[in-house]
Amino acid sequence: LSLVSAMNRVQLLGRVGQDPIMRQVEGKNPVTIFSLATNEMWRTGDSEVGQGGDVSQKTTWHRISVFRPGLRDVTYQYVRKGARIYVEGKIDYGEYTDKNNVRRQATTIIA
């Protein structure tokens, strides 16, 4: 029998969208935040043999948050825009209220 009854695990390989920032919310531990772009490419058309058709690409942006103290600090110091990095973590679905008092949903990868 497996002791794992559920799993929330994400693996991403992509390019960093901007230099990480570190945020400090009063009463909470700091967090390092950056965006990561992943690209998905596929061939459109009838051919399955790599000839003919056009190549389409979709870029997906992920918001990455790093809370673990050692990893958070290393990420802030060394990760830079354009770097190709591998991130492993879990998906977190949260809500926040924006400056216009509108409730928004935010999907974050907790590295």
Q: What is the DSSP string of 43-87?
A: E-SS-SSS-SS-EEEEEEEEEEEE-SHHHHHHHHHH--TT-EEEE
Domain boundaries, position 87: 10-40+54-110
The pLDDT of residue 89 is above 90: yes
User: How many whole angstroms separate alpha carbon 91 and alpha carbon 6?
Assistant: 13
**Which pLDDT belongs to residue 78?**
97
Quote the number of domains for the chain.
1
The answer as to whether 63 is a domain residue is: yes
**Which pLDDT belongs to residue 81?**
98
The answer as to whether 3 is a domain residue is: no
pLDDT, tens digit, for every residue of 1-50?
Answer: 567 789 999 999 999 999 999 999 888 899 999 999 999 988 877 655 55
User: How many percent of the chain have pLDDT more than 70?
Assistant: 91
CATH number, domain at 66?
Answer: 2.40.50.140
The answer as to whether 88 is a domain residue is: yes
**Which pLDDT belongs to residue 49?**
59
**Which pLDDT belongs to residue 42?**
84
Q: Greatest CA separation found in the chain?
A: 58
The answer as to whether 5 is a domain residue is: no
